[in-house]
Amino acid sequence: MKASVHNHDEALKDLRAKMPDDKLLCDLGDLFKVFGDTTRIKILYSLFEFELCVCAIAELLCMTQSAISHQLKVLKTAKLVKSRREGRTIVYSLADDHVRSIIGQGYEHLTEE
Partner DNA sequence: GTATCATATGAACAGATATTCATATGAAAG
Partner DNA sequence: CTTTCATATGAATATCTGTTCATATGATAC
Name the site residues for its own copies (rule: CB under 8 A).
1-4, 6, 8, 11-12, 15-16, 18-20, 24-38, 40-42, 45-46, 49-50, 52-56, 58-60, 62-65, 68, 79, 89, 96, 98, 101-103, 105-110, 112
What, of its own copies, DNA, none, does residue 70 touch, CB below 5 to 8 Å by kind? DNA
Closest CA to 102 of 26, 46, 23, 44: 44
Alpha carbons 55 and 67: distance in angstroms, whole number: 11
Task: Count Cβ atoms below 10 Å from residue 27 Cβ, excluding itself.
Answer: 12
- Least distance from C-beta 72 to its own copies, angstroms? 13
Contact call for residue 90 and DNA (CB under 7 A): yes
Sheet holding 81-86, edge to edge: 52-53, 89-94, 81-86
Residue-by-residue DSSP string for 32-68: HHHHSSHHHHHHHHHTSSS-EEHHHHHHHHT--HHHH
Contact call for residue 26 and DNA (CB under 7 A): no
- Pick between residue 53 and residue 102 the one whose CB is nearest to DNA: 53
Binding residues for DNA, per CB under 7 A?
Answer: 3-6, 33, 36-40, 53-55, 63-67, 69-74, 83, 85, 87-91
